[in-house]
Amino acid sequence: MSTPHGPDAASGPGPRRRARRWWIAAIVAVLVAAGAVVAGVLEHRAWVGTVATYEAEVARVTEDAATSRARAEEAYAASRDALDDAVDGGRPVLAGSEGQVGDPAVRAPLAAALDQAERLRDAEVTYPVSTRTVEEVTRPNLFRPQTLPRVEAEVVDGSDPAPAELHAAAAAVTAATAVVVEARQEWALEELQAAATEGRDALTELRPQVGAATLGELDAAVTDAEAMTDAGADALDPDDAVALRDTLLDTTETLWTDRLDQIVADRRRAARADGVDCREDRCVALTFDDGPVAETQRLLRILERKDAPATFFMVGDNVAARPEIARAVVDGGHLVGNHTWNHPQLTTLDDGEVRDEIRRTQDAVTDATGSTPFLLRPPYGDVDGRVRSLATRTGLDVVLWSLDTRDWESRDAREIRRRVRAEVEPGSNILLHDIHATSVDAVPKIIADLRKENYVLVTADLLVGPDEP
């Protein structure tokens, strides 16, 4: 087959190439148009989203402006109520614990927390304001330009003081209050246990003397106290415990006061039956402190020869060391009193220590002599209302002295005698010490001097004051 040659054959393919270029241009145009449409759609959607975000922010800021003050006031009021509750709970606990919780480290944090809480509570509250802004938004579209305006609003930003501060202060008060309450419960438990022990001891000692009928109120109070203490500190209401403690102490003291008055009245009545009436006679009492010691035996021989009664206020430690001498004092017809276990200043001791000093001596004297003291002479005359009350609740009446020979200072028998002669008067309670040989040396002449002046020697309990029956 031959291939055509010539002009006609060379120009044949031309129109077909031009047709292909046209279709390519058409496709490109379509693609460009489609891209523009897509871009427009995407831009529109983006703008719609921007508008929605803008409007939501405007709505939020507007709502905050309208409601923020009320919300701030509500939040402050709630925190203030919580703080008030904490302070109202803590303040009476702090006041009630005074004199009960002795450790300052326990009470001080509550006092500080309450002070801080009350400063916050009493502070003038303000509500700070700030300006919230929603910035303007412009649509970047040449064909459909649009701008959303800038919006500003005044919004309350909480309160000053802030609720968080008040809640923190309330929490601090509550925590410190709990610590003091726990400490006060422990204190109240110990106090109630001690009062119940005193009451139980009084029941044991008084029942043979006054009968069970007189002790009904005390017996019931002791039973209630023991039930309360058995439940433990956690279950204890301190106020209830203190009230019951006071009932126990008052009842115990009243019963012992009545009994001590009766003991003394009976002894004075017996003395009058024997011809000694200190309401009319010139009575004086020789009293000796700090024994028994070896010198006490010599003193007993002197008193026996002179037929002179005396009162011996004994130190418990000495009684335990020389019980036979203590027994000889009682066998000689003399009166034995309590002068504590080891001669401390009682007002410097706490209640438990005072009880121990007194009780140990009571037991020692009773064991040694078979006789229980009913008089207490506090060493150095150191006594206050608290010690007197403790003594009474242990079955002891406090007796001091009215004529101090100062024998411990002079250590001179003649000077001791001189002081007695110079200062004695009816009703004198004469203080001497049988631990000093010079004091014992002075006794024979003192007795002679007193009898020469028509004084009657008696035990200390028989002395009567000007207003006593």
Query: How far, in Å, CA of 389 to CA of 336, rounded?
Result: 21
Can 289 be counted among the known catalytic residues? Answer: yes
Instruction: List, for residues 137-155, the tens digit of each pLDDT value.
Output: 898 887 888 888 998 989 9
**Which pLDDT value is given to residue 439?**
98
Q: Which of 334, 339, 433, 436 is catalytic?
A: 433
Between 212 and 379, name the one with better pLDDT: 379
Residues contacting 320, CB < 8 A, separation 6+: 364, 368
Q: What DSSP character marks residue 290? A: S
d(CA 76, CA 70): 10
Catalytic residue among 289, 290, 397, 407: 289
Neighbouring C-beta atoms of residue 430, cutoff 10 Å = 25
Averaged pLDDT for residues 373-398? 98
Average pLDDT over residues 147-171: 93
Element (H, E) at 120: helix 104-122
Between CA 427 and CA 435, with CA 398 as vertex, the angle to 5 degrees is: 80
Q: What letters, b where the CB count within 10 A reaches 16 and e where it falls short, cover 228-253? A: bbeeebeebebeebbebbebbbbbbb
pLDDT above 80 for 36: no
Structure tokens at 379: 């060493």
pLDDT-wise least confident of 15-19, 51-55, 202-206, 326-330: 15-19
pLDDT digits (tens, 9 = 90+) for 186-241: 999 999 999 999 999 999 999 999 988 899 999 999 999 999 999 999 999 999 99
- Averaged over 417-441, what is the pLDDT? 98
Strands 129-134 and 335-338, sheet pairing: unpaired
pTM: 0.77
* Residue 54: pLDDT band with limits 50, 70, 90: confident
Q: Determine contact, residues 416/446, Cβ cutoff 8 Å.
A: yes
Using 50, 70 and 90 to split pLDDT, how confident is the model at 2? very low
CB atoms within 10 A of CB 445: 15
What is the Cα–Cα distance from 259 to 261, expressed in whole angstroms?
5
Q: Among residues 233, 41, 225, 58, which one has the least CA distance to residue 144? A: 41
> 163 pLDDT exceeds 50?
yes
The pLDDT tens digits for 62-117 are 888 889 899 999 999 999 999 999 999 999 999 999 989 988 999 999 999 999 99
Mean pLDDT of the chain: 93
Q: Which tokens sit at 210?
A: 């006054």
Contact 308, 288 (CB under 8 A): no
Q: Which structure tokens are listed for 441?
A: 């040396």
Residue range(s) of every CATH 3.20.20.370 domain in the chain: 277-462
pLDDT tens by residue, 238-270 = 999 999 999 999 999 999 999 999 999 999 999
CA distance 27 to 41: 21
Phi, psi of 245 (to 5 degrees): -60, -45
Tell me the pLDDT band of 20, cut-offs 50, 70 and 90. Answer: low
Q: Look at residue 1 in the predicted model and tell me its pLDDT.
A: 44
Output phi, psi for 444, to 5 deg: -55, -45
265-281 burial, b if ≥16 CB within 10 A, otherwise e? eebbeebeeeebbbeeb
For the residues 371-381, what does the mean pLDDT come to?
A: 98
Is 433 a residue of the active site? yes
**Which of 63-72, 390-399, 427-436 comes out lowest in average pLDDT?**
63-72
Topology of domain 277-462 in CATH is TIM Barrel (3.20.20)
300-318 confidence digits (pLDDT tens): 999 999 999 999 999 999 9
Q: What is the DSSP letter of 118?
A: H
pLDDT score for 17: 55
